[in-house]
Amino acid sequence: MAKEAPTIILIVDDSGAVARTISNDCTNLDFATPRNVQDVTGLDKAAIERLLLLADFSATLNGVFNDASNMSHDVFKTIPSASVTRTVSIAASGQTLAVEALLTDYALTRAATGELTWSVPAVLQSGTAPSWA
């Protein structure tokens, strides 16, 4: 029997550090938790040797403009003016990835057909390796 795709819960702090659930406004997101590597290959090797280095996190959140109280526009409208760290939490199937992130842009797009959408990139800020809980 095929499993259904898990429901995603997206919670992002507003500039006042209040967690807001904006899953309904978000249409898609992508995120990554890569590790840097260092090439330590000696001249005596026939293949590459690497060491795992620091962990990272990046994401791009995309959604539909909603200026209702405590929804996506309220959460993101202060990105250009408030230099604050925000907790971004992504939950799926009972698993949660929560990171302290910097939101670096709040880009709005009005398509020729009339829809108004947004895109918000996020990057790790805290120096704490992201991990699922």
Q: Are 85 and 104 in contact (CB under 8 A)?
A: no
88 burial (CB, 10 Å; 0-12 / 13-18 / 19+) is buried
pLDDT tens readout for residues 64-82? 999 999 999 999 999 999 9
Q: Which CATH architecture does the domain made up of 8-124 adopt? A: Roll (2.30)
Cα 78–133–75 angle (5° rounding)?
10
Tokens of 83: 């230099």
Question: Predicted confidence band at 90 (pLDDT cuts at 50, 70, 90)?
Answer: very high
Please state whether the predicted TM-score (pTM) of the whole model is above 0.85. Answer: yes
Cα–Cα distance measured from residue 15 to residue 74, given in angstroms and rounded to the nearest whole number: 9
Tokens of 67: 């200026």
Q: Who contacts 61 (Cβ-Cβ below 8 Å, separation ≥6)? A: 10, 12, 26, 29, 88, 119, 120, 121, 122
Question: Predicted confidence band at 4 (pLDDT cuts at 50, 70, 90)?
Answer: confident
Tokens of 122: 């996020």
Cα–Cα distance measured from residue 5 to residue 104, given in angstroms and rounded to the nearest whole number: 29
Checking if the pLDDT of 1 tops 80, the result is no
